[in-house]
């Protein structure tokens, strides 16, 4: 997946609020999606990230977004982890399961020799287009506040055509309007 690509309407299992069910990405049409791929359940960095996202879940929902965490574990493993980990117990958003690796392959996050996903985040608009993505080494945890800020910026520019958000922009701060006029000498 690259910026501007439309995500495929894949079907996958989720674990959410003591239930396992099949969903498709089209079930979330009309919402922003934050896909948070992570390597595996019962690991060290992953529960800290999932808990931090859970702590901001209401803020993501205020932006019209849903978070879906995603690993190559099954929904049953997600349920077991949720039941035993104090950090993961905080998660109320869908925990996506990709044991066949079809989602990791589609999004380009699979580490084939290990059968797990890289740590990656995709922000997808309500029409299913990728607006932001970040992928990095599995030893480096993400910052949920920064993911929320990027979502807010992506949402703002989609509603305010012709405006762009400068570095470290957050809601309420000044935006920019690009111009074709040159200012000063090059």
Q: How far apart are CA 161 and CA 115, in angstroms?
A: 41
Structure tokens at 107: 């999004």
For 101, list phi and psi in degrees, rounded to 5.
Answer: 70, 10
Q: Which helix (H) or strand (E) holds 181?
A: none
- Catalytically active residues are 46
Say if strands 110-111 and 95-97 run parallel, antiparallel, or are unpaired: unpaired
E-state strands within the chain: 11-16, 19-24, 32-37, 65-71, 95-97, 110-111, 116-117, 119-124, 130-136
Q: Is the dihedral of CA 19, 21, 26, 27 positive or negative?
A: negative
Task: Tell me if residue 176 falls in helix, strand or coil.
Answer: strand
User: Which residues touch 125 (CB under 8 Å, ≥6 apart)?
Assistant: 32, 131, 154, 158
């Amino acid at each position: 997946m690259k910026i501007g690509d439309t995500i495929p309407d894949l079907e996958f299992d989720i674990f959410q609020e003591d239930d396992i069910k099949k969903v498709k990405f089209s079930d979330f049409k009309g919402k922003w999606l934050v896909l948070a791929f992570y390597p595996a359940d019962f690991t060290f960095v992953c529960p800290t990230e999932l808990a931090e996202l859970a702590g901001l879940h209401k803020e993501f929902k205020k932006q019209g977004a849903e978070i879906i965490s995603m690993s190559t574990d099954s929904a049953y493993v997600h349920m077991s982890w949720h039941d035993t980990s104090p950090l993961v117990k905080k998660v109320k958003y869908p925990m996506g399961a990709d044991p066949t690796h079809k989602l990791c392959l589609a999004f380009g996050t699979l580490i084939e020799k290990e059968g797990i996903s890289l740590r990656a985040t995709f922000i997808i608009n309500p029409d299913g287009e990728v607006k932001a993505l970040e992928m990095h080494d599995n030893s480096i945890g993400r910052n949920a506040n920064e993911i929320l800020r990027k979502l807010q910026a992506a949402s703002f520019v989609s509603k305010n055509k012709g405006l762009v958000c400068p570095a470290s922009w957050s809601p309420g701060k000044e935006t920019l309007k690009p111009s074709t006029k040159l200012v000063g000498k090059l």
